[in-house]
Amino acid sequence: METATETTDIAEASARPLRFAIIGAGMAGILSAIKLIEAGLTDFTVYEKADRVGGTWRENTYPGVACDVPSHLYSYSFDLNPEWSHLFAPGSEIQTYFERVADKHDLDRYIRFGDEVLRCEFDGGRWHLETASGHTDTVDVVIAATGVLHHPRYPDIEGLNTFAGDAFHSARWDHDVPLIGRRVGVIGTGSTAVQIVSAIVGEVGHLTLFQRTAQWILPQVNPAYSDAEKAAFRADPGQLVQLHDSLSQLFEESFANAVVDADSPQIKMIEKACLDNLENNVTDPELREALRPDYRAACKRLVISEDFYQAIQQPNAELVTAPIERIEPGGVRTADGVLHELDVLVLATGFQVDAFMRPMKVIGRNGAVLEKVWADRPVAYLAISIPDFPNLFMLNGPNGPVGNFSLIEVAELQFRYIMQLVELLRTRRAREVSATHEALDEWEAAREEAAKHTVWVTGCRSWYLDDRGIPAVWPWTFSRFREEMAAPKLEAFELVE
Ligand code: N01
């Protein structure tokens, strides 16, 4: 009779060898590489268009950049970090963390830097990749870890290119441009602009913030961790796990569940905290009214800042609410005829959030072209799998959880789910796995229905909303996401033998 070990050995010997391509070496790409190595699936290449890992944290280097998820939560669960300097660590520290984790797992030898994947075509049961340098690869599984907020959105403002000073998008910060004593304009009032304003107001000569829409600001202190606290984390990693888990629970109960229920007591508490912040911390009544939003808190992605109101009340700061008419060589002309003269113009105008792995050309089964499939808007079953695009799995794909969660926790849960689908391929239960059209349609309908109860549809414009005004994000609680990610429902997948 065969022993259990022999049975496993036989199963392993007959397992299908799989080659993988991971696209992107940001947070989710690094995670995928580490987890594949851990599973013994080491035949893979990570394709990264830039020359370093880090994704959004490599690209966003603007003054004040930080994550609004606490750093001990915004960490890999398997690589918690005792060294975080603050509750919300600065972006450069987060970038260093990703570089250190990638080094620790010796990922450089798997990563092809400076080579963008331009095309992926499914043919003969495998994916054929072509990169910008002309390199080709053939793989069984593609993991698209290409990120969400990475294609800068430039505003469509007349005369933008005529500006005679220095102008750049917040995600393309030009560190060669001096700011000290100069006249700097910032367009936008999202999380990015708010961080920039607080960080630079003390050094610029004059700061002009062009506000199209006022934002609710949730005040949140950002204490530093003491040397003693860091030493305690180092000495007892169990404390770090506890901290990570308690932050996760706190975030889930306070934020994550609040935003998906517009009538919840938690959202009312957030609204009150934002309102108190405005009432108590902006002294000039005219400025206070200019900064008062006319929609509910957290309808737009909530902006978290300890010191924005202080910054905008500095004598060298000015809030401009008149609509921008055009940009001229000397500055920004607003509809009231005023020319706001500037030396530097920062476009903190956000990202094209529906691009995902595009502009990469992706061709699935029977010639299905992603660009056409997504002509109206991007969709993927549970944000992971697209019908007719077998063995291609997305991390942080369309309509997944992005609001007020740690995207690392999201990606870890998604990856575990994907690995269960990969196991079907490896154990030869299927050669091709992709969601069925029916499963996707059902999920989309349920998602759209659930979205009606969220705070995101209570009357504001935001990057969460698609062209129909439906939030392109996970509209349920985080525990529901965890449940969905526990195990794939196989009836939702087309398994080609
Ligand atoms: O971009 P946004 P962001 N004329 O899209 C304005 C994450 N993030 O880079 O509100 C004038 O939120 C636009 O105005 P309006 C986080 O998920 C996190 O700030 O549309 N204004 C808006 O004010 C965040 O939500 C962190 O009327 C124009 C702004 O530009 C996401 O990234 C830090 C305009 C864009 O705001 C995006 O944030 C940074 C025009 N033509 C980012 N076009 C943290 O973790 C656009 N605007 C803290």
**pLDDT, tens only, 235-293:** 999 999 999 999 999 888 888 888 999 999 999 999 999 999 999 999 999 999 999 99
CA of 191 to the centre of ligand 1 (A): 6
Cβ–ligand 1 contact at 301 (below 6 Å):
yes
Test site for ligand 1: of 27, 86, 156, 192, most ligand atoms within 8 A of the Cβ: 192
| CATH 3.50.50.60 residue ranges for the chain | 4-151+352-496, 160-221+259-347
Two structure tokens written together for 82 = 């005792």
- What is the number of the ligand 1 atom nearest to the C-alpha of 190? 19
Ligand 1 atom showing the smallest separation from residue 402 Cα = 17
Question: What is the rounded CA–CA span in Å between residue 116 and residue 49?
Answer: 4
Instruction: Give the model confidence (pLDDT) of 64-96 as tens digits.
Output: 999 989 999 999 999 999 999 999 999 999 999
**Rounded alpha-carbon distances, angstroms, from residue 412 to 32, 35, 197, 451:** 9, 9, 33, 24
- The CB of 316 under 6 Å from ligand 1? The reply is no
- Mean pLDDT within 367-373: 97
Return the pLDDT at 1: 52
**Ligand 1 touching residue 217 (CB < 6 A):** no
Q: Is the peptide bond before 488 cis (omega within 30 degrees of 0)?
A: no
Closest ligand 1 atom to 65 CA: 33
Ligand 1 proximity of 187 Cβ (cutoff 6 Å): yes
Kindly state the tokens that stand for 170: 């917040």
Which of 115-124, 153-162, 203-212, 350-359 is predicted least confidently?
350-359
Which tens digits make up the pLDDT trace of 326-364? 999 999 999 999 999 999 999 999 999 899 999 999 999
CATH domain 4-151+352-496 topology: FAD/NAD(P)-binding domain (3.50.50)
Quote the ligand 1 centre to 153 CA distance (angstroms).
Answer: 9
Contact 69, 63 (CB under 8 A): no
- Three-class secondary structure of residue 422 per DSSP: helix
Q: What is the CA radius of gyration of the chain?
A: 24
Among 307, 311, 274, smallest CA distance to 292 is for 274
**Is the CB–ligand 1 distance for residue 59 below 6 Å?**
no
Residues in Cβ contact with 423 at an 8 Å cutoff, skipping those fewer than 6 apart: none
State residue 11's pLDDT score.
67
Handedness of CA 174, 180, 181, 184 (dihedral sign): positive
Q: What are phi and psi for residue 494, nearest 5 degrees?
A: -90, 115
Write down the mean pLDDT value for the chain: 95
Q: With a 6 A CB cut-off, is 212 part of the ligand 1 pocket?
A: yes
Residue minimizing CA distance to atom 18 of ligand 1: 191
* pLDDT score at 73: 96
Closest residue CA from atom 40 of ligand 1: 155
Q: What is the pLDDT of residue 378?
A: 96
Exposure string of 115-154, with b = 16+ CB inside 10 Å and e = fewer, is bebeebbbeeebbebbbeeeeebebbbbbbbbbbbbbbbe
Query: Which pLDDT value is given to residue 5?
Result: 61
- For residue 14, the model assigns a pLDDT of 86
- Residue whose C-alpha is closest to residue 110's, from 72, 77, 70, 139: 139
- Per residue in 197-215, pLDDT tens? 999 999 999 999 999 999 9
CATH class name, domain 160-221+259-347:
alpha beta
In this prediction the pTM is 0.95
169 lines ligand 1 (CB under 6 A): no
CB proximity list for 474: less than 8 A, separation 6 or greater? 260, 383, 399, 400, 401, 402, 403, 447, 481
Instruction: Report whether pLDDT(8) > 70.
Output: no
Q: Which atom of ligand 1 is nearest the CA belonging to 68?
A: 45
* Minimum-distance ligand 1 atom for the alpha carbon of 67: 45
Residue 193 Cβ inside 6 Å of ligand 1? The answer reads: yes
Ligand 1 centroid – CA 303 distance (Å): 10
Matching residue, tokens 């370093």: 52
Return the ligand 1 atom nearest residue 155 CA: 41
Find out whether the beta carbon of 149 lies less than 6 Å from any atom of ligand 1: yes
Please give the distance, rounded to the nearest whole angstrom, from the Cα atom of residue 430 to the centre of ligand 1.
43
